[in-house]
Amino acid sequence: MPDSDTTNATGAAATTATAGRKRLVSGPGLLLVWLYGVMVVGAVSRSAFQISTEFDRAPLPYALSAVAALAYAFITYSLVRGGETARKAALICCAAELAGVLAVGTWTVVRPESFPDTTVWSQFGMGYLFIPVILPITGMLWLRKRREAATR
């Protein structure tokens, strides 16, 4: 049965939260969700291992990897959730992610001694095939396109 035709315990028609949401994961958006999902797994795995085993060696890089993991997880969730509010939240988070990648990437190139170990965003994501710098740009373009498509 469609989401909008559900009935609650009192017999009244209820509209679920997903009924009014526009899907963000259709077409190329599905690839975007998949890539962000892979980055979640990579960043969470890396940061969890490094924080639990050698945090005292390089706390800043490991904490930044954890922040990257949280950003990736939030964007993935927002894309899957769908709707205009989730699209706006994902767009803001993609912009913040890009700012983080550019700041940390520049910092690791200019002052490499500040980072005794790498982060997901070190050298603009070179250890991750530059996906960390490409992904938020692609995400922002996709989310902007979805907004334009919704207004037509």
Instruction: pLDDT tens for the chain, 152 residues: list them.
Output: 444 444 455 544 444 444 455 667 777 788 999 999 999 999 999 999 999 999 999 898 899 999 999 999 999 999 999 889 999 999 999 999 999 999 999 999 999 988 888 888 999 999 889 999 999 999 999 999 877 666 66
Rounded Cα distance, 71 and 78, in Å? 11
The partner residues of 7 in beta bridges, in order of sequence, read 13
Looking at residue 47, its pLDDT comes to 92
Residue in this structure with the two tokens 């962000």, named with its chain if needed: 36
Contacts of 82 (CB under 8 A, 6+ apart): 18, 21, 22, 23, 24, 25
Question: Which tokens go with 130?
Answer: 């530059």
